[in-house]
């Protein structure tokens, strides 16, 4: 459903992403693994065409359901963002507005695209909170973001991201700021939602353990280049690139210290 061909992105003289190709099927979770600065977020932002000067997509195709997103007008892209392709980030607090209730914020993102009136949008917002397993959604919907814990805020963000029923979710390190137990709950929720809606997910992380538990396939980035790709188990058993061997060894060492 998504195919990226030879994507290159530059920020002035820095090549953030170089000649990267990857694909995601319907209902699949693809992992993108790489350390900080390897170009992971730049790929996600490129898919939504949210690269701004001095950044520039200098080459590549991004084919979504047969259509090259690079060729769409900004008006056409607006109809894709949120509605067809949505995104969640590492820090849910900075993306929620502190002065509006979570209900108002979720209702706001669904009202226009879904052609709902205020009442309907609010009801749908309650349903969305229920979907992401926030207890007592009809009451919690009236709360402000600061009244939610980090994990609960990430659930709110997931509710918002899925409210317009997208086909593809870009998850950019959404659990990095969370405790391990809460992180597992969020990963379980994503797995469940994927099955329920046959959602495709691109899961971005520097953490091989998450890739192992969540994804069937992974691409490994190093300094903007794709250095390895394949089935997660294959790569775990037999990493080809020294860079990937290193990442996997680090995970093994950590697991020996604190087995999970």
* Contact call for residues 163 and 106 (beta carbons, < 8 A): yes
In the set 41, 46, 90, 183, which binds ligand ADP (CB under 6 A)? 41
Helix (H) or strand (E) holding 100: none
Q: How far is CA 107 from the centre of its chain?
A: 21
* Closer residue to ligand ADP in complex, CB, 38/183: 38
* Closer residue to ligand ADP in complex, CB, 55/113: 55
* Closer residue to ligand ADP in complex, CB, 9/193: 9
Give the shortest CB-143-to-ligand ADP separation in angstroms. Answer: 31
Please name every residue paired with 200 in a beta bridge, in sequence order, or none if there are none.
168
What is the three-state SS of 130-171? Answer: HHCCCCCHHHHCCCCHHHCCHHHHHHHHHHHHHCCCCCEEEE
Give the shortest CB-154-to-Mg ion separation in angstroms. Answer: 16
Using the contact rule CB under 6 A, the part of the chain among 37-45, 90-98, 136-144, 161-169 near ligand ADP is: 37-45
In the set 25, 26, 37, 58, which binds ligand ADP (CB under 6 A)? 37
What does the binding site for Mg ion look like in residue numbers (CB under 5 A)? 41
* Contact call for residues 86 and 161 (beta carbons, < 8 A): yes
* Closer residue to Mg ion in complex, CB, 41/207: 41
Q: According to the binding rule CB under 6 A, does residue 90 interact with ligand ADP?
A: no
Q: In what order do the strands lie in the sheet with 67-68?
A: 14-24, 2-11, 55-64, 67-68
Q: Which residues bind ligand ADP (CB under 6 A)?
A: 11, 14, 16, 34, 36-42, 55
């Amino acid at each position: 459903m998504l195919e990226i061909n030879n994507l290159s992105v530059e920020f002035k003289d820095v090549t953030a992403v170089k000649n990267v190709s990857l694909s995601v099927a319907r209902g699949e979770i693809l992992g993108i693994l790489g350390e900080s600065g390897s170009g992971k977020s730049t790929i996600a932002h490129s898919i939504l065409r949210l690269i701004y000067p001095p950044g520039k997509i200098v080459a590549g195709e991004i084919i979504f359901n047969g259509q090259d997103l690079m060729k769409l007008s900004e008006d056409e892209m607006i109809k894709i963002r949120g509605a067809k392709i949505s995104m969640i980030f590492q820090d849910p607090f900075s993306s929620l507005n502190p002065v509006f209730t979570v209900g108002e914020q979720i209702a706001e993102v669904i009202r226009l695209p879904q052609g709902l009136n205020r009442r309907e949008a609010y009801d749908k917002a309650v349903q969305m909170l229920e979907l992401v397993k926030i207890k007592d959604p009809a009451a919690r919907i009236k709360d402000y973001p600061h009244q939610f814990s980090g994990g609960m805020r990430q659930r709110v963000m997931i509710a918002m991201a899925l409210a317009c029923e997208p086909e593809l979710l870009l998850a950019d390190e959404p659990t990095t700021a969370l405790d391990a137990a809460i992180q597992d709950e969020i990963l379980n929720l994503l797995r469940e939602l994927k099955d329920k809606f046959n959602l495709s997910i691109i899961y971005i992380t520097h953490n091989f353990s998450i890739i192992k538990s969540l994804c069937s396939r992974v691409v490994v980035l190093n300094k903007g280049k794709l250095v390895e790709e394949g089935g997660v188990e294959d790569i775990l058993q037999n990493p080809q690139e020294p860079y990937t061997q290193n990442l996997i060894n680090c995970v093994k060492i950590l697991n020996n210290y604190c087995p999970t």
